Each structure stands twice: as C-alpha cells, then as structure tokens.
Structure 1
Amino acid sequence: MELSFFNVKDGYLEALVRGLRSGFLSADEYRRLAQCESIDDMKLALEETDYGMFLQDEPSPIPSTVIGQKCREKLANEFRHLRSQANYPLSKFLDFLTVEKMIDNVVGLIQGTVNKKSPQDLLGRVDPLGWFPEMKAIASMDITSGYEEIYKTLLIDTPVGPYFESFLKQVTPADSESRSMQEVASIFNETDLELMKNMLKKAWLEDFNAFCETLGGSTAEVMGHILKTNSDFRVMSVTLNSLNTMLGSSQQLGDRNLLYPSLGYLYPEGTDRIRKAWNETTVRAALEPYKPYAALFDLCAPYYSKERSGVTDIKQLKSLEDLIYEKEVELCEFAFEQQFHYGVFYSWVKLREQEIRNIVWIADMISMGRKEHTEEIVPIFRPRY
C-alpha cells in the first residue's frame, strides 16, 4: 500500500530532495576551499559549487559569520520551496523541522534582550529556517519591568507555545491547575535559559517522535531509529556536560534528569541507570550494557576528564558533540539508502547544516592563519570503499 500511494502525494518532492543531494560539496571541492588564502578566495571557490553567487552582494572582507548566515538563508529558501508544495502529513513533518530552530531563536532572542543587544543585531543572527513574525516583537520588548510580556507572547502567539506549556507543567507542582501570568513570569525569571532550551527541545523531540509513529511504514522505521539515537545522544551529552557543573552535584541531579527524553534505545532501563550517575565512573558503569554507547563514551572521556590522563596533545581530544556530529552524518546518509519515507527531508536538512558548519570552520581557520586545521571537518557522502 505504501509503495502504491507514496508517489501520488509525495513522490515529486522526494525526487526533488534526492536531487538536492547532488549539491553537497565533494571532497575535491573541500580541498579547493582548504587551499584558499583568504575569505575572498573562498567566495570565488564557492561560486563554482551549488552555492553559486550567494555572496555576490557582500563587500570585502567577508566575515565567516556572514558566510554562515548566507548559507543558512540559502538552505531556508530551498526548504520553503519544498514546504510550499507539500500536502499533509508531509507539511506537518516539515513544520516540525522548523520548530526546533524556532526554539533556538526564541531562547537566543531572550538572552539577547537580557544582555541589552539591539533588535537589529538580534534579528540578524537568528536562524532563517526558524523565522516567524512574532520574533520582531520579542526582540523589541523592554524587559526592565519583567518577563511577563515576552512570555505572554510566547505562550499565546507563537508556534512554540505548546512546548513552553509543557515546560511549565514540568517545573510547577503537579497539583497546580492554573497559573497567573505573574507566576509564569516568575518561573521564567528563575530558570536558567540553557536549561529551559534543553527542556523545550526534549518536549519537541518527544512530540516529533510521536507524530512519526502515527505515520507508520518506512517513515516511522527510519525516523524512529534516527530520533531514538539522537535521544540517546542527548542523554549522554547532558550527563557528560553536567559532570563538572552544578547540575552534576547531588543537589541538582533532579534538574539534570528533567532533561532526559522519554524515548530512545537507552529508555527506560539505561536512562534510569544514568539518572543515578554523578561522575565518570558511574556514567561508564551505567552505559556498560550498551556497547556502542560505552565505546562512544570511552572515545570522548579524556576530553571531559580533569586530569586528561594519557593524552599529551589536547588536539587529539574529541568532545561528545564532535563525535555526535560524525554519527549523525552517518545516520542521515543511510536514510537516503531507503525509499518512500520522509526521513530524507530531515536528513537533507541535517546534512546541509553540517556542511555549513564545515564551511564556517574552514573560513575561521583561514581567517586565523591556521590552515593546517582546515581538514578537521565532517565530510558529507564521502566515498565508501
């Protein structure tokens, strides 16, 4: 049944996104970028790729931040072209991809208003994939009298409202049936913004997974594997990054454990074991039954160890985030090996985001005169032998 009807509704867009796969930078194109002597040389080299003349209106010298923003704008424009032609349920699936970026944008805007950044500066840094009109109002709000106006806007007028409501339910007493707007503002005032963002992402991830399960078929299979694996990565990342912080202390373990998604291959037994872990030894013991994750932990453990034992050159160390980027690229590449599913749309976006990180990294290394590090990227669709 799936093979019979998928192409009727979504075959054209799937073919289109598979065609966009050919636009990823090749190994030779990365080598040409790495050989550039300046950002202007990179601009010329990129003109010969799928990126084309996207920097033609930018005056020299071009900062690497501008290159990254222009790349994201190109991705957002291509994504919107796909979204404009999508029917339900693909349209809602694509909307889930934008909501993740909306969460990043909203938290970034709030942080910027706290630091008294100008609205123009804040809006110039948002991810265009997660743009929505109310962001202009958030960036212009005066928070000197509190956060009430911002959160009233977030909870009522924006696509991320349901996730903020989920966040409030987790941080307020279970018997609290109603909350005044002043109480809402007080909760947000007292919550660390990074902690808030992670809790919002957790709610989004669980919601996205539930939606993919309702789709069934190959989409549920492919996306289920990707989202479960990413959930496990999130559990490991939160745990390791909290070890040497207040969240790693016994008093704050409750706050840390709120960030763990209720899905994944670790869930529930492995997640319960990790909830009780408070140092590297107990984390490693909790991961022992899960060999792939235990091996991943062993690779990045020296990076998080205070002693850096056994490592004389810190450049040899890789954080869990570095390793996750590599693993996520593998997951998304394999999604293209199967047909008739929505996972290729998710994978194309994530692979393009990694390519943008690669381009910005190379630009940064060239700007700093450290060209020997330009090869420290995660290539996309490298040849398999």
Structure 2
Amino acid sequence: MEMLTFNASAGYLEGVVRGYRNSLLSTHIYSSLSQCETLDDLRMQLSATDYGNFLANEQPPLTTSVIAEKATGKLVGEFRYLQDNAPKDGTLARFLEYMTYGYMIDNLILLITGTLHERDTHELLDRCHPLGTFDGMPALCVANTVEELYNSVVVDTPLAGYFKDCLSAHDLDDLNIEIIRNTLYKAYLEDFYNFTQSLGGTTAQAMGTLLSFEADRRTINITLNSFGTSLSKEQRAKLFPSIGKLYPAGNNALARADDVDQVKQVCEYIPEYKNWWKDGGLGGGSGEDGSEVEELEGKMFREETKLNKLETICQFNYSPFYAWLKLKEQEIRSITWIAECIAQGARDRITDFVQF
C-alpha cells in the first residue's frame, strides 16, 4: 500500500534527492583531491564535479573557511529546494522540518556559549548554520539566565517543547550549557523518533535504525566526556535518550560507568559497536588520551556513513532525505579536511577523512 501512494505526494522529490545522492563525490574524485598541491588546484578539481563553479567568484587567496562556507551554501540551497516543493500540509514537509531542529539547537548553544565568553555578536551570528536560523536569534546574545533565554526567544521556536527540562538550570555557565545542549538533543531525538514511527512502513523501520544509532552515539560520547568532570552520574543518566540498541540495559550500565574499560564492556554486547574497540581502538585506561577518543569518534562517523549509504538506495520512504543530508555533511567535512591539510602542509594526514 505504501508503494501505491508514495509517489503521489513525494515521488518527484524522491527522484530529486536520488539525483543529489548520485552527485556525491566518488573514491576516484577523493583521490584526485588528495593529490592537489594548492587550494587553487583543489578548486579546479571540484569544478569538474557537481560543485561546478561554486568558488569562481572568490578572490585570492582562497581559504579553507571560504571553501567550507560555499560548499555548505550549496547544500542549503538543495535542501531548501526540497522544502519549497514539499506539499505544505503533508508529512514530508513535517519530516524535513524535523531535520532542521538539530541545527537550531547547535545555533542556540553556539550563541549562548559565545556570549558567555564575550565573543563578538556579529561573528557568532555569521557562524550559525543557515538551516538552523529562527526569529529572535540576536536576542540570545543578551540573555543572562535560562529563564530569560526561554522567555525572550525559545518560547516562540519549535524548540520550546524540548526546553521544559532545562529550566531547572539557573546559571549559564559552561557545565549548564552542555547539560542544556544534551537535554535538548535527547528530547529532539525522542520526538523525531516517535514521529517517524507514527508514519509506519519502511520509513519507520529505516529511520528507527538511523535515529537509534545517533542516540547510542550520543550516549557513549556523553559517558566518555563526563569522566573527570563535575557532572554527577545521576545528571549523566538524565541526558541519555530513551531509544537505541543500548536502551535500557546499556544506558543503565553506562550511567554507572567509572572508566573507559566499563564503557567498552557495555559496547561488547552490541556486535556493531564491539568492533569499534578492535584494531587500535580504545584499549583501556582512564580515557584521558584525547587521541584515543578522537579515533573512536572517527569509527562512529564511519559506521554512521555506512548506515546512511545503505538508506539512500531505498525507495518509497523518507529515509533517503535524511541519509543524503548526513552524507552531504560528511562530504563537506572531508573536503574541508583535505583543504586544511593542503593549507597547513600536513600531507601525511590528508587521507585521514571519512569517504564512501
């Protein structure tokens, strides 16, 4: 039944996003980019791809930040086209709107963190992701308490419903800001998950897999990053999303974990996560070695990329829209990494990026 009715409302846009997917950079292109000697060489190589002349009007010297900004602008334009053409009263439009909430959370946290550290307001606004903009964003830069933050801006945004569990934090210090960030993401992931499950069919199954992985990754990262901080185990447990393969038993065990070895033991019960700790992954210890945590983060990105790559070839459901956006983000991170290695002369690390 799903196949009979899907094309009537979303068939055209599914074809568009499938075209977007086919324009993602191939292994051959990544190899060519990695051999570039200068950023101008990189621009020339990218001009032969779907990126086209997106850097044609940039004056020298070309910088990594400009490349990342223009690539992101292309992504935003493609996503806005999907939003503009989705039936306004349909579930696809709602689904695409949900996809922007994560960017709203990131922008909110960026602004209040930057304000806390007395960063320039215009600089902070320029760094916000275009997909996460909302009315009243400049007012975030003058809020001094969580209540002011909520009453002046957040109450009129889609994030208002996620914010109710944040109001107990009174001061906007670094720890409370991180608690707010993870509390918002927890509520957002659970809400998005429930929405996709209400759609049923292949969308529910596919998005259940993708969002469950995202929830588990956040749970593991919160646990590892809480070691050596003033965050209590009770506070840590409240930040874990109540979805994912780790939920509930794994979440309960991670809430009590004291070191990396205990996190590893919990992950061993999930075959996909167990492999992260092999072949040079985290082997134990206190978890204070930032390079080890960075390596684990890279393995998580690779697992996410693999899952999203599989979903982009599915049909008659909404998961390809989500998966394409995630893959495009990863592509931009990879291009930016290559560009930065070229700019810094760090050619020995130029291939240390996630490709698919």
User: Residue 10 and residue 108 in structure 1: after superposition, are their counterparts in 2 closer, same or farther (change >3 A)?
Assistant: same
Tell whether 2:205 aligns with 1:232: no
Distance of aligned partners of 1:147 and 1:272 in 2 relative to their CA distance in 1, 3 Å threshold: closer
Q: Which residue of 2 aligns with 1:154?
A: 153
Is 1:282 the counterpart of 2:258 in the alignment? Answer: no
Show the 5 A alignment for 1:184-333: 186-188=170-172, 192-247=176-231, 252-298=232-278, 300-302=281-283, 305=286, 319-333=295-309
Shift of 1:315: 7.7
Judged with a 3 Å threshold, the aligned counterparts in structure 2 of structure 1 residues 6 and 358 are, in CA distance, closer, same or farther, namely same
Name the amino acid aligned to 2:296.
Answer: L
Task: Please identify, of 345-354 and 32-41, the stretch whose mean Cα deviation from structure 2 is larger.
Answer: 32-41
190 and 152 in structure 1: CA distance in 2 versus 1, 3 angstrom threshold: farther
Out of 112, 116, 132, which is 1:130 matched to?
132
**Corresponding position of 1:72:** 72
**Equivalent residues of 2:139, 2:153 under 8 A apart:** no
> Does the CA contact (< 8 Å) of 1:240 and 1:304 recur in 2?
no
- Per mean C-alpha deviation after superposition, the further-off stretch among 224-233 and 151-160 is 151-160
Match of 2:121 in 1: 119
Change (3 A) 1:307 1:356: closer
Q: Give yes or no for the alignment of 1:28 onto 2:28.
A: yes
Distance 1:37 1:289 in 2: 45
Deviation at 1:167, TM superposition (A): 3.0
State whether residues 154 and 160 of structure 1, in contact with CA within 8 Å, keep that contact through their aligned partners in structure 2. no
Shift of residue 316 of structure 1? 8.9
Distance 1:190 1:151 in 2: 17
Per-residue deviation, 1:305: 4.7
* 1-structure distance, mates of 2:335, 2:270: 34
* Aligned residue pairs, count: 353
What is the Cα deviation at residue 107 of structure 1? 0.6
| Structure 1 unaligned blocks of 5 or more | 173-183, 309-313, 381-385
Cα deviation, residue 327, structure 1: 0.4
Supply the distance in 2 between the matched residues of 1:129 and 1:78 (Cα, whole angstroms): 11
Counterpart for residue 109 of structure 2: 107
Q: Does 1:49 align with 2:30?
A: no
CA contact (8 A) 1:69 1:125 kept: no
Larger-gyration structure (1/2): 1
Tell me the amino acid that sits aligned with residue 160 of structure 1: L
Q: Residue type matched to 1:342 in 2?
A: Y
Q: What's the CA shift string for 1:2-53, capped at 9, x where partnerless?
A: 0100001100000110011121112222122212222222122211111112
Counterpart in the other structure of 1:355: 331
State whether residues 303 and 317 of structure 1, in contact with CA within 8 Å, keep that contact through their aligned partners in structure 2: no
- Letter in structure 1 aligned against 2:14: E
Change (3 A) 1:379 1:189: closer
Structure 1 residues 253 and 368 mapped into 2: Cα distance closer, same or farther (>3 Å)?
A: same
Identity of aligned residues (%): 38
Q: Over residues 168-219 of structure 1, what are the superposed CA-to-partner deviations in whole Å (9 max), with x where a residue is unaligned?
A: 3xxx4xxxxxxxxxxx7x2545852122111111110000000001000000
Who is 1:181 aligned against?
Answer: none
1:142/1:231 CA distance change after superposition, 3 Å: closer
The root-mean-square deviation of aligned C-alpha atoms, in Å, is: 2.3
Distance across 1 between alignment mates of 2:72 and 2:50: 14
Q: Equivalents in 2 of 1:303, 1:19: separation in Å?
A: 44
Q: Distance in 2 between matches of 1:242 and 1:218?
A: 36
Q: TM-score, normalised by structure 1?
A: 0.85
